[in-house]
Amino acid sequence: MGKLEGKVAVITAATSGMALATATLFVEEGAYVFITGRRQDVLDKAVKAIGRNVTGVNADSSNLADLDRLYETVKKEKGKIDVLFASAGFGEYLTLDKVTEEHFDKTFNTNVRGTLFTVQKALPLFNNGGSILLNGSIVSIKGFPAFGIYAASKAAVRSFARTAVVDLKDRGIRVNVLSPGPIDTPALDGLGGDKSQLEALVPRGTMGRSEEIATAALFLASSDSSFVNGVELFVDGGVAQI
């Protein structure tokens, strides 16, 4: 029996990289998974790649109407949620002198506003004793150049987790933050930059893989972490720890 046998999970922005790997592993471990993506063609490919026990919903996590439609789909098809991984995020490099209102709003709308309402709107369907994972980042505790707005948005996500733990304690819903370090994903490719510089930061000399994030997510989602609540789990190869 899998570690998520009979569970229903929702994973936002799960069409590639870490979130797709997590959705795939959750299904392998017995869960039925709802995934979201903003592009229908890419979403369809992700659903096909997962292969079974999955529903794809075209949705933008910063759009509240899209979130309502997502949870209406979950309610209609399964009627409950046991695990939520609020994974949707956006980031781009801009030095302080070049930050624009548009850049700030796009980053915070997706990473902060979107994360908050992804969680809030899931609660009516959430089973007591469930698990919520928020997508953080090591940048929230580091000072990487040209990444200040993204870092601040991830620090806000960390703060949400602390208060959500208290707000949801009577329902036994755990809330934890999963904070990756340098992971070799298509999203990282989109940021540009020199991968060799990132690899040099990791003690083992190579960046992380999406599957290494997925196994950490499985731990936080399952009963293996039943006494883990309110933590920020850094899956970063030691980059932010030394």
Q: Known catalytic residues?
A: 150
- Single out the residue of 115, 122, 57 nearest to residue 88, CA to CA: 115
In our burial notation (b when 16+ CB lie closer than 10 A, e otherwise), range 165-187 reads beebeeeebbbbbbbbbbbbbeb
Structure tokens given for 182: 């340098």
The secondary structure element, H or E, covering residue 233 is: strand 232-235
Query: What span, in angstroms and rounded, lies between the C-alpha atoms of 29 and 217?
Result: 12
Lookup result for tokens 């930059």: 193
Closest Cα to residue 220, out of 86, 62, 124, 89? 86
177 forms beta bridges with 134, 232
| 240 closest CA partner among 202, 204, 183 | 202
User: Which residues are 54's β-sheet partners?
Assistant: 33
Closest CA to 14 of 32, 42, 29: 42
With vertex at residue 172, the alpha carbon angle to CA 159 and CA 24, rounded to the nearest 5 degrees, is: 75
Q: Say if CB 144 and CB 93 are below 8 A apart.
A: no
At 37 the three-state DSSP class reads strand
